[in-house]
Every structure is written in structure tokens, then in C-alpha cells.
Chain A
Amino acid sequence: MKKFNIWPWIILLIGMVYFFLPLIATFEFSLKMIKDRYTFEAYRVAFTDSKFFLNFGYSVLWAVLTMICSTLLVVPTAYWVHWKMPNARPYVEFVTLMPFVVPAVTLTYGLLSLYGSPPIVLIGSPILLIAGYIVLSLPYMFRAVDTGLRAIDVRTLTEAALSLGAGWGTILTQVIFPNLRVAILSGIFLTFAIVMGEFTFASLLSWPAFGPYLEEIGSMRAYTPQALSVVSFMLTWISIGLLQLIGRGRGQEQVAGAH
């Protein structure tokens, strides 16, 4: 029998305090809008602001667009790497790791200086924003889909489908996508969480989104920003909780988020 050791518990306790104290403090702060009483007034105020719904709605729109585009870009690519071009894997992986080499601020700078003035002007449309978000989502999407593809026999499935006369569209939609459902879901949940809280791209490219809105009211008001921070944390918690639930925590080695 091993001797009972107190140190792991102490470290765990410190970790827990560090994890939860800011959350408790934020929650407590958000309840204090009316003096000397704990109320949910700040939440009521936050949720009655029409600008909140506008910005939040935009963030949902960006998140959905990013999820769709990223899936359409990553799944066929990862599939093709597994089925036809295993030699290209290092190059694809290299690209998916680029957001860690070119941080969001830097990428925005490059995008704006390249596509902000003629000959190619893309700043009137949200293309640059979505592109930035797709770049952010690449590591998570690729890793999730790649792990999913490893678990299925791509070669056999594809050859079976081909010999039954299926075209490539059919193979992707009827064979590959259904088999990767869990992997794709875990990728897009994380993408959703990241895009919903993202600040850098939206703020610097001047598009309405939840992140910049939160920052803006944070510099003007008290209590409501904290209330929305709690909401934002719960969103992240739900997204990643769901992800852990579907993926059962396997193969989800995350590298970093959008800070």
C-alpha cells in the first residue's frame, strides 16, 4: 500500500483556487448591479440591449460561415492526403500549424496591407474575416478530421464505393462525411467556441462581433460586461464539454487558442 501523500492534494487545491476564483469573482461582481443586494439585474440589462443581439448574431453568423468553409476545405484535403497523397502530409500539417507562427494581429496586418489597397481590394466584404477565422480553425479541424480518418479504413471504403460505381461527390457525402461525423463535430465545436469569443480579427478588420462589443461596453460600463463574460465562459464550457462528451476526450490534444 502506498503512503498517503498530501502534496498532490495541495497542488490540486491551488490549481482549483486559481481556476475558480476569477470565475466566482466575475459572477459575484455581475450580481452587484443594485447596491447592497445580489440580483440578476446586470443580466437583464445586458440581454435587453439590442446591440448585444446584433453583435452576438453577427458572431453566430461568422461562426457558422467559418464552420462550413473550414469543413469543406479541410475534410476533402485530409481525405485526399489519406487516400492518394500521403507524401503531402508534412506540407498540409505545416500549413495547419501556421496560425501559431503568424499570430492573428500579424496576419491581419499582412492581409490589410496586401488586400486593403488596389489592385485587389477585399476589405469591403467579410472575406478577410472569414479567411482569418478559417486559418485559426485549421489546426483543430485538421487534427480532429485526421484522427477520425485514421480510425476508418479509407482505402477499403473508397475502393468499395468506387467499384460500386460511386462518383467522388457521392463518396465524400455518403461515405466519408458520415464516417467522420464525430470527428467533424468535435472540430466544429471548437471552431464555434473560438470564433464566438474572438476579438483580434473582428476588431482590427472592423466587423461587428461579440468580442469587440464586449470590449467596448467594458470600457464604458460596469457589471454588464462581467455578466456577459460569465455567459461567454459558459458558451466555451458548453462547446468544449460537448466536444469531450462526443470524442470522449480521445485524440484531442489542443495546441492553443486565440488569445
Chain B
Amino acid sequence: MTGITRVSKSNGDAPQARPQNRKAMDWSWLGLAPFFLFAIIFLFLPSVSIFFRSFQTRAGDFTFENIIALFTVRDIANAYKTSLQISLITAVGGALFGFMLAYAVVLGGLPRGVRTFMTTFSGVASNFAGVPLAFAFIATMGNAGLVTRWIESIFNISTREMGISIYNLWGLSIVYMYFQFPLMVLIMAPALDGLRREWREACENLGGNSYHYWRYVAFPILLPSILGTMILLFGNAFGAYATAYAFSGSFINLVTILIGAQIQGDVLYNPGLGNALALGMILIMALCMAGYAWMQRRAARWIR
């Protein structure tokens, strides 16, 4: 608030007042204090608490046991494995299909209106997650789902008798794809717009064909955007909780599901282990964000 009085004081005779004021301490950072205070109380302190408690025994002594347990306790190691698998599957799948869709909409010669519609719909779909999304897919491919009934009546089979279940890694991957690939469309559409017509013309003037253009010009330029978004999708799937929980309860053993169970009732019988679990998650997500930021910077070189 000191900055305010300083400025209003200089209203009358600013020129003389300024040099002296420059010496005075700069209080303008105070304007950002509420924001950073909020961040410290509700973001950083909880994260720091998770960090320190990961290295504490129940009695509060220092230990590495919790961290080691992440790799040795079967349930936890499996949870990480499943979470990583599903994130990888949906990141690659989402990026692939999202790219093709973005390409079709931006450069595929589809009517202009299709693109507006697709962007809007992607905006909705990438935010349509959690419980309703899980229910939508249960109504689609669950035991009494629309698609299940179609398949059963067309092929005259019973999925239940065949023991086919969707409540596994692949089923959940299909659900996650619903919010994964629209995100790719949202990010790739502007990136594809950034490909300039001159580049293609230059390539053609040099005797290149479409293959050369994509192989040596467009693809290398787009690669950081594609990889960056893929990392983002990976983190997106890794941190998802509500969708997985509503879809299969705690049937699929994911890291987020395990942390949720640990919150609701100390299922690991060790709070320190819960903290270590959360810490591992934060580390992986931080790596994702760092990778994404790095790729973004590379992508910004060409695409404005």
C-alpha cells in the first residue's frame, strides 16, 4: 500500500520528487502478496509437508524406508506401473488420433464450419470428465450398454458369458481418450495453422514433393508441439482420479485411487507411506510439466 501513497504524492510535482524516491525501498511487490500468500498456504506448504513427512517414521524420526517401500511393496509398485501404462497408452493414442483429427479439420479441406464446431466441442469434451463421463461409458459399453447390446445382437453372443469385462486397463483407456484427444485437437489446430504456405511453396520450388515437405519441413517444426502435448496428456491421465473411481471403484489399482483410499481410511497402515506415494506422484507430474515447458519453448521458435 506504500506504493499508493508514493504515487499519489508525486501527482503535484513529479519531476523533482522522483530521484529521491528511487532510493526508497520498493514496496510494489506488496500488491502480489495476497496471491503468493494464498499459494504458500494452500499449495506450497502442503507440498512441503508431503515431502518432509515422506522421510518420517510414525514417531517422527528420519527414514528412507517409505521411499524404498514405493519400489518394494507390491501393491504400490503395481499401482505406479498401471498408472504409467494407462498414461502412456492414452497419451500416445490421444496424440495420434487428436493429430489426425486436427489435421483433417485444419488442412483436410473440410468446410469451415466443421472446424468451429470441432473446436467448441473439443473444449467441452476436454472438460467433460469425472463421474458423468464414467457413467456415460458404462451406459455405452457396460453390461447393458448400447454398444454391448448392438454387438451382442449382431454377433449373437453374450459378452457376460464370454467373460469380457471393460473394467480393466483397456476399458479405462477408452474412457480417458474422451478427454485426451480433444485436448490434442485444441493445441494442435493452432500449431497447424502456424505452418506457412511459403514453406510448402519453397519446398516445391526446390523440387520437393509432399513427402519431402512433411518429412523435412512440417514434421520437424511440429515435433516439439506434438511431443509437448503428449507429455501434457501423460500428466493429465496420470493425475486423473474422479473418472477412474466412478468407472471402476477401486477395481483398477492406480496411484490416485490408492492415495484416495489412503485418505478415506489408512489402508496402507502407514501415513508416511501415503506421503511417499503422493511425493512420487508430484515428482512425476513435475517432470511432465518441465518437459512440457521445454518443448513449448522449442515449439515457439517457429510457431507464432
Q: Write the residues of chain A forming the contact surface with B, with a CB cutoff of 8 angstroms.
A: 2, 4-5, 7-9, 11-12, 14-15, 18-19, 21-26, 28-30, 73-74, 76-77, 80-81, 84-85, 88, 91-92, 95, 97-98, 100-114, 128, 131-132, 134-135, 162-163, 165, 167-168, 190, 193-194, 197-200, 203-204, 211, 214-215, 218-219, 225-226, 228-229, 232-233, 236-237, 240-241, 243-244, 249, 252-259
Contacts and interface: CB of A to CB of B under 8 A. Distances in A.
Contacts of A168: 4
Given A73-B34, A112-B263, A211-B242, A259 B131 contact: no
A218 B135 contact: yes
Contacts of B104: 7-9, 11-12, 15
Top 5 A-B pairs ranked by shortest CB distance? A8-B108, A110-B46, A103-B239, A8-B104, A25-B146
Contacts of A105: 239, 241, 256, 259-260, 263, 278, 281
B131 A214 contact: yes
A249 B256 contact: no
Contacts, number: 289
8 contacts: A11-B100, A30-B139, A73-B34, A103-B256, A104-B242, A203-B242, A236-B127, A259-B179
A233 B241 contact: no
B97 to A, nearest CB: 8
A15 B146 CA distance: 18
B235 A100 contact: yes
A219 B7 CA distance: 61
B34 A95 contact: no
Contact of B35 (A26, A95, A232): A95
Contacts of B223: none
A111 B135 CA distance: 29
Nearest to B237: A259
Given A101-B286, A106-B282, A204-B260, A2 B109 contact: yes
A123 to B, nearest CB: 12
Given A102-B43, A211-B242, A19 B121 contact: yes
A76 B31 contact: yes
B132 to A, nearest CB: 4
B186 interface: yes
Contact of A12 (B31, B41, B110, B147): B110
A255 B293 CA distance: 12
Interface in B163-199: 176-179, 181, 183, 186-187, 190
A214 B146 CA distance: 21
Given A15-B101, A97-B289, A199 B131 contact: yes
Please report whether the interface of chain B is mostly helix, strand, loop or mixed according to DSSP: helix
B139 A88 contact: no
B11 A163 contact: yes
Contacts of B137: 22
Nearest to A3: B109
Interface string B120-146: 110111111111110111011000111
A258 B129 contact: yes
B230 interface: no
Given A95-B43, A229-B135, A233-B128, A106 B31 contact: no
A24 B139 CA distance: 9
Interface of B: 3-4, 7-8, 11, 28-29, 31-32, 34-36, 38-39, 41-43, 45-47, 49-50, 53, 97, 100-101, 103-105, 108-110, 114, 116, 118-121, 123-133, 135-137, 139-140, 144-147, 176-179, 181, 183, 186-187, 190, 232, 235-243, 245-246, 249, 256, 259-260, 262-264, 271, 274-275, 278, 281-282, 285-286, 288-289
Contacts of B147: 21, 25
A259 B242 contact: yes
A258 B46 contact: no
Contacts of B240: 103, 259
B146 A253 contact: no
Contacts of A14: 97
A134 B119 CA distance: 26
Q: Which residue among A85, A101, A200 has the maximum number of chain B CB atoms within 10 Å of its CB? A: A101
Contacts of B49: 110, 113-114
Contacts of B176: 259
Nearest to B177: A18
B53 to A, nearest CB: 6
Contact of B139 (A22, A114, A237, A243): A22
Contacts of A211: 130-131, 242
Contacts of A232: 131-132
A258 B43 contact: no
A259 B275 contact: no
Given A101-B286, A102-B285, A229 B132 contact: yes
A199 B29 contact: no
B231 to A, nearest CB: 11
A88 B29 contact: yes
A12 B105 contact: yes
Contact of B239 (A104, A135, A165): A104
B124 A236 contact: yes
